[in-house]
Structure 1
């Protein structure tokens, strides 16, 4: 899906790639400096990439994986020296997390109190995120210097589907990854 010319560069063009690289770099920095719970940068990127559909979001996620691989501090890596998803994110979803996610979504959409349908939807998304964590973990095993690194990461991220729900779940996981990497890097003064 390509946006109208006034909305942004055409997908797949050098201008599109430059925009995604710039946004991935900026996002890597903002995740570390935002207050806990501040997802304004996440929302901004989702809106920016909306005209490109889930494919645009997965293209950005590909670059975020490569940033995470490059920037991940040693203590958040596994024995092979690759980013360890278990050390980067908690992956736990409990009832309070589900209610908080549904309440936050309703507040942003000006929909009022959380309903049973909202909770079911939030629970389904939490399950989807947990189910996609192994996909992100596999993508984080990529060696960034490899000639086909970008293509390999994109393929890994699309393995379980490339629809809106999968793309937003992968982006949610990578948001947490980039926050952990950024905060740890900022604390260590790197």
Structure 2
């Protein structure tokens, strides 16, 4: 089921307009019964999709997907925070508040930590017998809670959108 969800979500993000998170919200509702673990499992598959499908111009000198290229080379975490807030709403969690993370700087610092985890996961060698386990371990290095899983999912949503739009530009 997760393979199908990852494929479907990759395609829907590729055709989504920037800022349109309807597909992300629908996916969150489908995965709600599986909690953080389900989101991490889906994110693991999305990382493997990225490794397989990333266009050459978005890769680093070693041929691996380069996170700064995939999230437009910006450290601005506002889009990811927005996606995380949407995910939290769909998962019946209250919106991010100052009580959860004392201020925007801490939120951005946390997102940057999670971006580092995603960047490490993208360094996984595709086709390795333990690639899924290695990706999952990298993604959960900063924690396995719902907040972390939602933010990682938001980061990967941006990546899927970038890859999809870049592929459409080069083939269209």
Are positions 1:85 and 2:67 aligned together? yes
Figure out how many residues of one structure are paired with residues of the other and give that number: 162
Q: How far apart are 1:101 and its partner, in Å?
A: 3.4
Q: How far apart are 1:119 and its partner, in Å?
A: 10
Are positions 1:130 and 2:112 aligned together? yes
Tell me if structure 1 keeps the 8 A contact 2:65–2:122. yes
- Where does structure 2 lack aligned partners over 5 or more consecutive residues? none
Q: Which residue of 2 aligns with 1:158?
A: 140
Higher relative contact order (CA 8 A, sep 6+): 2
Match of 1:44 among 26, 29, 33: 26
- RMSD between aligned alpha carbons? 2.8
Distance in 2 (CA, whole Å) between partners of 1:122 and 1:52 is: 29
Tell me if structure 1 keeps the 8 A contact 2:14–2:165. yes
TM superposition score normalised by structure 2? 0.83
Cα distance change, pair 101–156 in 1 and its aligned pair in 2 (3 A): closer
- Where does structure 1 lack aligned partners over 5 or more consecutive residues? 1-18
Higher radius of gyration, 1 or 2: 1
Distance in 1 (CA, whole Å) between partners of 2:61 and 2:155 is: 22
Q: Which residue of 1 aligns with 2:17?
A: 35
Tell me if structure 1 keeps the 8 A contact 2:113–2:142. no
Q: Secondary structure at the match of 1:141?
A: coil
Cα distance change, pair 92–151 in 1 and its aligned pair in 2 (3 A): same
Q: How far apart are 1:33 and its partner, in Å?
A: 0.5
Tell me if structure 1 keeps the 8 A contact 2:124–2:135. yes
Q: Secondary structure at the match of 2:123?
A: coil
Distance in 2 (CA, whole Å) between partners of 1:122 and 1:42 is: 25
1:59-95 alpha-carbon deviations (Å, 9 max, x no partner):
000000000000000000000000000111144337x
